[in-house]
């Protein structure tokens, strides 16, 4: 419900405005009326409202005076003011617009214009409400767990809450400068709309998790059949993800919660998630499960270690890769949890550091990060093998400090810069750049960041957004899907979200702004 105060000194007109608002959009309810500005201010002492529709000319305190008092008393976003005026009062209306009112309507009211206005007001009010809830939840789930603002009315203190913790692809066990491949998946998957389709209009809130891979869904419902309903919701969500994205996802479910328990439960859920995610596997689990799922844990026995050491001492990358391939095949068969695979990966790395020449800056600055990225970037075991093979190929190639050739690195980064500029429309990611330039993703990213001040991914994004602005300015008749395709995005919604994140406005708003400037 969006609460409205109507201020008009002529009763028949006031009643007709009230009726028109409520009939045009059922979300709007007139909770109070007043005949002048002073009465309106008195009403606001006892009634909370979201929107004020006010006439310009009224006795005691007119519309301009009322808006001035509103701006002095309330924050700019707390109440949306709308002016209603006659043609002869248009100069007053322009004065009101300079005071940052939302809009104005001319008498007699046009129902079409009113409908359009109410839609825009609803979008702003509901957006502000969602933002206040998101902020409160983010602060509740933050490091200290103490929201700075008051609890929004949409979050009843005694309600029955539920929590879903989602992790797309691998779990980010280590801090990473480069984003997870899950970030692109989330940008393509409208989680809020999917939840709305599955759950209807029941209260729920979608929040960002601690990393790019994670999302949180907080729901508000009843305790009756909670487990059954939540499981059905999670399964429907997983099914939709498989249809749209296709990569692995892990979903954790809580039991019924009080508002104050959400933060602690989220921490427990994340710890369980870290011990549940498996490479290439989708899974739903419940926090109420007394024990983790049982898996057969792979081991690195002494015989395998001796084979690896022999290959390392012989400097035989091909022999080493054959052993690694056998290990990955075993992991694929056993389906261990990701953190167990990470332990084995780092155990193999320790053997390498004990044998290979570790004087190169690659080992001290990049080797461990590359191994972490190899796991994080893998959506399945085939990709894990490819990623690890690239890391170890680099490791075998390093022979000492002389490999850190600044001139060669600069030339390579100049080639990479030219490649990115010339291939905006191509599907470029960590893997394609790694294969193209023969360096593992983390090392390549570090070199390019030193050269350009940002990672290849961020640089490519900046180039694409710059080109998008040029197209919006020069070719305003182009459809959004055509602009997206011309800068390398097949999904226009994904492009629009990226543009909004980078510029603060939607592409359509940027285009409209350019059109106004040129007039």
**pLDDT for 401:** 47
pLDDT for residue 59 is more than 80: yes
Please give the Cα distance from 249 to 193 (Å, whole number).
18
Residue 138 lies in a domain: no
Q: Which of 252, 286, 320 is the last residue of a domain?
A: 286
Domain count, the chain: 4
Q: Do 193 and 230 reside in the same domain of the chain? A: yes
Q: What is the DSSP string of 17-44?
A: HHHHHHHH-TTEEEEEEESSHHHHHHHT
List, in sequence order, every residue forming a beta bridge with 85; answer none if it has no partner.
106
Residue 189 lies in a domain: yes
- What is the CATH classification number for the domain harbouring 485? 1.10.10.60
| pLDDT tens column, 438-449 | 776 777 777 888
Q: Which of 255, 286, 317 is the last residue of a domain?
A: 286
Q: Do 164 and 260 reside in the same domain of the chain? A: yes
- What is the CATH classification number for the domain harbouring 209? 3.30.70.270
In this prediction, residue 309 has a pLDDT band, given cuts at 50, 70 and 90, of very high
pLDDT for residue 364 is more than 90: no
**pLDDT for 88:** 61
Q: Do 266 and 354 reside in the same domain of the chain? A: no
Question: Can you tell me the mean pLDDT for 149-169?
Answer: 87
pLDDT above 90 as % of the chain: 36
In this prediction, residue 87 has a pLDDT band, given cuts at 50, 70 and 90, of low
Q: Which of 104, 128, 152 is the last residue of a domain?
A: 128
In this prediction, residue 235 has a pLDDT band, given cuts at 50, 70 and 90, of very high
Question: Can you tell me the mean pLDDT for 379-383?
Answer: 92
Query: CB of 502 within 8 A of CB of 463?
Result: no
pLDDT for residue 167 is more than 90: yes
Comparing 25-34, 218-227, 311-320, which segment has the lowest mean pLDDT?
218-227
Through-space distance between the first and last CA atoms of the chain, rounded to whole angstroms: 39
pLDDT for residue 177 is more than 60: no
Q: Do 123 and 28 reside in the same domain of the chain? A: yes
Residue 431 lies in a domain: no
Q: Do 202 and 261 reside in the same domain of the chain? A: yes
Containing domain of residue 358, as a range?
302-402
Residue 448 lies in a domain: no
Locus of tokens 């005691």: 60
**What does each C-alpha distance from 4 to 26, 54, 97, 275 come to in angstroms?**
12, 11, 20, 50
| pLDDT tens column, 402-425 | 444 566 778 888 888 999 998 888
Comparing 66-70, 309-313, 461-465, 510-514, which segment has the lowest mean pLDDT?
510-514
In this prediction, residue 361 has a pLDDT band, given cuts at 50, 70 and 90, of low
Q: Do 188 and 231 reside in the same domain of the chain? A: yes
């Amino acid at each position: 419900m969006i609460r409205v105060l109507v201020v008009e000194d002529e009763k028949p007109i006031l009643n007709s405005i009230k009726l028109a608002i409520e009939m045009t959009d059922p979300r709007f309810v007139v909770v109070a009326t007043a005949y002048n500005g002073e009465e309106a201010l008195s009403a606001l002492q006892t009634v909370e409202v979201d929107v004020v529709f006010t006439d310009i000319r009224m006795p005691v305190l007119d519309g301009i005076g009322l808006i001035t008092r509103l701006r002095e008393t309330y924050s700019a976003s707390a109440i949306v003011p709308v002016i209603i005026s006659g043609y002869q009062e248009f100069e007053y209306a322009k004065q009101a617009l300079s005071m940052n009112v939302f809009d104005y309507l001319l008498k007699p009211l046009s129902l079409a214009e009113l409908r359009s206005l109410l839609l825009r007001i609803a979008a702003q009010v509901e957006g502000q409400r969602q933002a206040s809830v998101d902020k409160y939840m983010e602060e509740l789930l933050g490091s200290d767990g103490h929201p700075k603002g008051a609890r929004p009315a949409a979050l009843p203190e005694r309600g029955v809450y539920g929590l879903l913790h989602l992790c797309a692809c691998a779990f980010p066990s280590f801090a990473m400068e480069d984003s997870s491949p899950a970030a692109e998946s989330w940008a393509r998957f409208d989680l809020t709309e999917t939840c709305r389709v599955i759950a209807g209009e029941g209260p729920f809130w979608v929040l960002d998790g601690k990393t790019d891979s994670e999302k949180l869904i907080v729901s508000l419902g009843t305790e009756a059949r909670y487990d059954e309903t939540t499981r059905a919701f999670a399964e429907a969500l997983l099914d939709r993800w498989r249809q749209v994205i296709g990569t692995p996802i892990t979903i954790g479910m809580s039991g019924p919660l009080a508002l104050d328990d959400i933060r602690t439960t989220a921490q427990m859920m994340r710890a369980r998630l870290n011990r549940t995610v498996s490479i290439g596997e989708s899974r739903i689990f419940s926090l109420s499960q007394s024990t983790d799922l049982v898996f057969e844990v792979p081991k690195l026995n002494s015989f395998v270690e001796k084979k690896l050491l022999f290959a390392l001492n012989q400097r035989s990358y091909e022999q080493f890769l054959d052993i690694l391939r056998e290990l990955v095949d075993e992991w694929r068969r056993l389906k261990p949890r990701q953190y167990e695979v990470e332990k084995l990966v780092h155990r193999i790395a320790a053997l390498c550091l004990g044998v290979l020449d570790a004087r190169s800056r690659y080992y001290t600055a990049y080797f461990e990060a590359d191994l972490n990225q190899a796991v994080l970037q893998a959506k399945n075991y085939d990709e894990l093998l490819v990623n690890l093979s690239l890391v170890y190929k680099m490791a075998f190639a390093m022979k000492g400090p002389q490999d850190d050739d600044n001139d060669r690195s600069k030339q390579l980064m100049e080639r990479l810069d030219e490649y990115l500029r010339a291939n905006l429309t191509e599907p470029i990611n960590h893997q394609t750049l790694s294969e193209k330039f023969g360096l593992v993703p983390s090392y390549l990213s570090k070199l390019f960041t030193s050269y350009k001040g940002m990672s290849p991914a961020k640089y490519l994004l900046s180039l694409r957004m710059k080109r998008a602005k040029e197209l919006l300015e020069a070719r305003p008749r182009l459809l959004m899907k055509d602009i997206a395709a011309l800068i390398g995005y097949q999904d226009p919604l994904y492009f629009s979200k990226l543009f909004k994140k980078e510029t603060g406005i939607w592409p359509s708003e940027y285009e409209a702004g350019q059109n106004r400037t040129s007039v």
